[in-house]
Amino acid sequence: MNTKLLSLNEATRTVNSGSNKVTLLDDINLQVNEGEFISLMGPSGSGKSTLLNCIGMLDSFTGGGYTFLGEPVHSMKEKNRSKLYKEYIGFVFQAYHLIDELTVWENIETPLLYKSIKSSERKALVADMLDRFNIVGKKDLFPQQLSGGQQQLVGIARALIGKPKLILADEPTGNLNSKQSTEIMELFSQLNKDGVTIIQATHSEQNAAYGSRIINLLDGKIVEE
């Protein structure tokens, strides 16, 4: 159970804003093992989202080393990098980011389409997922017809459909009320028990407490673990 999933070694991220060089992430050292549930905490602008995006390979570190499943991500080409994240990482967003034109079923199915999975298999996988999340009755509805909590449920189902090793969730309950929040966090907890590694960014102490490990960020640096 203690296999190393990813490690960051003095990872930094800087951007040029006009003539100033702004450091978003500074000298981050972090090891994540499979099966962990990590909560990233910190005030707005402390670098939580940036760190998540860089780990998710949507963005990249500008310095330092990043190893994912033993592969050196920092020296990879863009193409291999996206292949890697598409296979192993699922994303959950604060604003859900469901596609408005697609039904619940189709939203969940989309990642499978991009993986060129056969139609019959897709059907089975999506049906399983709907079943697991108890949203079979909602499968033909469009996102606007769902409550926020239900939308996020679909978002999570969609992130899980590709059987990722790692789920990255950026403020997954940020737009939800407390009852819905609790439900979503319970779900994450359950998923984690089923073996999925989770890294979430959050403002709320209460949500952070679901994690097995809390990392505090301030001004791009890890200040406390």
Partner 1 sequence: MIKNYFKIALRNLKKNKLYTTINIFGLSIGLAACLLILLYVSSELTYDSFHEKSTNIVRATMEYKASNEVNYAAVTGTKVGPEFSRRIPSVEDYVRTYISSGNIIYKDKSFAENRILFADPSFFNIFSFQLVQGNAANVLDASNKIVLTESMAKKYFGMVNPVNQVINAFGRDFIVSGVCKDVPKNSQIKFDFVTQFLNLNNNVKREQWWSANWITYLLLNDTAEIAKVEQQVNEYMSTDLVRKEARLNEGEYLKYNLEPLLDVHLKSELAGFEPNGSLTYIYVFVIITVLILMIAIANYTNLATAQSTTRSAEIGVRKVMGASKKQVFFQFISEATTITIISTIIALGISVLFIPYFNNITGQSFTRMELLQPIPVFLLLLFSTIVSVLAGLYPALILSNSKVISILKEGFRSTGGNNLLRKSLIVGQFAISVFLIIFTLIIIQQMNYVQSKDLGYDKDHVVVLPIRGNMLNNFSSIKEAFEQVEGVKSVTASYETPEFVNWSDGIHAADENGEHDISVNAMPIDLDFIKTMGMELVAGRDFITTDFALMDTINTDNKEYRQPYLINETLAKRIGWSPDEAIGRTISNRADGPILGVVKDFHFSSLHDPIGPLLFFLNRNFSRNYIVRISGADVKNTLTSLESTWMSRISDKPFDYHFLDQDYDALYESEKRSSLLFSVAAGLSVLLACLGLFGLVAFSIVQRTKEIGIRKVLGANLGNIMLLVSKNFLILVVIAVAIASPFAYWASKNWLQDFTYRIEPQLQIFVIAGLVTVIVTMITISYHSLKAANANPVNALRSE
Q: Tell me whether residue 87 or residue 224 sits nearer to partner 1 (CB atom).
A: 87
Given the complex with partner 1, which of 39 and 107 has the nearer CB atom?
A: 107
Min. distance of Cβ 113 from partner 1 in angstroms? 6
**Minimum separation from the CB atom of position 158 to partner 1 (A):** 7
Of the pair 199, 208, the CB lying nearest partner 1 is at: 199
Q: How far is the CB of 94 from partner 1 (least distance, A)?
A: 10
Phi, psi of 144 (to 5 degrees): -65, -20
Residue whose CB is less far from partner 1, 198 or 208: 198
In the complex, least distance from residue 46 CB atom to partner 1, rounded to whole angstroms: 16
Report the nearest approach of partner 1 to the CB of residue 19 (Å): 20
Query: Would you say 93 or 175 has its CB closer to partner 1?
Result: 93
Site residues for partner 1 per CB under 8 A: 53, 58-59, 82, 86, 91, 93, 95, 97-102, 106, 110-111, 113-116, 158, 162
